[in-house]
Chain A
Amino acid sequence: MIPELGHFSLIIALFLGMILGVLPILGAARNNSVLMGVARPLAYGQFVFVSLAFSALAYAFLANDFSVLYVAEHSNSHLPGQYRFAAIWGGHEGSLLLWALFLSVWTAAVAIFSRHLPEEMVARVLGVMGLISVGFIMFMLFTSSPFTRLLPAAADGQDLNPLLQDPGLVIHPPMLYMGYVGFSVAYAFAISALLGGKLDATWARWSRPWTTVAWVFMTIGIMLGSGWAYYELGWGGWWFWDPVENASFMPWLLGTALIHSLAVTEKRGAFKSWTVLLAIGAFSLSLLGTFLVRSGVLTSVHSFAADPKRGIFILSFLVLVIGASLLLFAWRAPKVGLGGKFDILSRESLLLSNNVLLSVASASVFIGTLYPLFMDALGYGKLSVGPPYFEAVFVPLMIPMVFMMGLGPLARWKKMSVPDLARRVQWGFASALVLALILPLSMGRFLSLESNKFSAMVVLGLLMAFWIIASLVISLKQRWSGQGTFMARVRRQSMSYYGMQAAHLGMAIFIIGVTLVKGYETERDVRMNVGDTVMAGGFEFRFKGVTQTAGPNYTASTGHVLVYQDGRSLGELLPEKRQYNASGMPMTDASIQPGVFRDLYVSLGEPISESDGAWAVRVYIKPFVDWIWAGCLLMGLGGILAVSDRRYRIHKKAVLATAPQSSIHI
Chain B
Amino acid sequence: MMRFILPFVLFVILSVFLYRGLGRDTAEIPSPLVGKAAPAFVLPLLHEPAKQFASKEMLGKVWLLNVWASWCSSCKDEHPLLMNFSQQHIVPVVGMDYKDKPVDGNETLKAAGDPYNLVVSDIDGSVGFNFGVYGVPETYVIDKQGIIRYKLIGPVTPQNLQKTILPMVARLQAQ
Contact = CB atoms under 8 A, between A and B. Distances in A.
Indicate yes or no for A touching B, C-beta below 8 A: yes
Interface of A: 273, 277, 280-281, 284, 291, 295-298, 300-303, 305, 308, 311-312, 315, 318-319, 322-323, 326-327, 329-330, 333-334, 370, 372-374, 376-377, 382-384, 584
Given A291-B18, A323-B15, A311 B23 contact: yes
Given A300-B27, A382-B27, A384-B27, A326 B22 contact: no
A315 B11 CA distance: 12
B7 A329 contact: yes
Contacts of A295: 22
A323 B11 contact: yes
A326 B8 contact: yes
A329 B21 contact: no
Nearest to B28: A303
Contact of A333 (B4, B12, B23): B4
A372 B26 contact: yes
B22 A312 contact: yes
Interface string B11-35: 1100101111111111110000000
Contact of A315 (B4, B18, B26): B18
A297 B21 contact: yes
B23 A308 contact: yes
Interface residues of B, number: 21
A305 B5 contact: no
Contacts of A384: 26-27
A326 B15 contact: no
Q: Which 5 A-B pairs have the closest CB atoms?
A: A326-B8, A330-B5, A377-B20, A300-B27, A311-B22
A326 B7 contact: yes
Given A330-B4, A334-B1, A376-B26, A322 B21 contact: no
A376 B19 CA distance: 12
B4 A273 contact: yes
A326 B11 contact: yes
Nearest to B22: A311
A329 B4 contact: yes
Interface of B: 1, 4-5, 7-8, 11-12, 15, 17-28, 73
Contact of B18 (A297, A308, A334): A297
B17 A374 contact: yes
Contact of B24 (A303, A370, A377): A377
Contacts of B73: 584
Find the residue from B4, B8, B21 having the highest chain A CB count within 10 A. Answer: B21
Contact of A327 (B8, B24, B25): B8
A373 B73 CA distance: 37
A624 to B, nearest CB: 35
A384 B25 CA distance: 12
A301 B28 CA distance: 7
Contacts of B21: 297, 373, 376-377
B17 A334 contact: no
Contacts of B17: 370, 373-374, 377
Nearest to A333: B4
Contacts of B24: 297, 305, 373, 376-377
A323 B18 contact: no
A322 B20 CA distance: 18
B151 to A, nearest CB: 12
Contacts of B27: 300-301, 382, 384
A192 B12 CA distance: 23
A302 B19 CA distance: 20
A297 B26 CA distance: 8
Nearest to B31: A303
Given A315-B18, A318-B15, 8 more contacts: A311-B23, A323-B12, A323-B15, A326-B7, A376-B21, A377-B17, A377-B20, A584-B73
A291 B15 CA distance: 11
A319 B14 CA distance: 10
A281 B14 CA distance: 14
Contacts of A302: 25
A295 B20 CA distance: 12
A312 B21 CA distance: 11
26 contacts: A277-B7, A280-B7, A291-B18, A300-B25, A300-B27, A305-B24, A305-B28, A308-B22, A311-B22, A318-B15, A318-B18, A322-B11, A323-B11, A326-B7, A329-B4, A330-B4, A330-B5, A333-B4, A372-B26, A373-B18, A373-B24, A376-B21, A382-B26, A384-B26, A384-B27, A584-B73
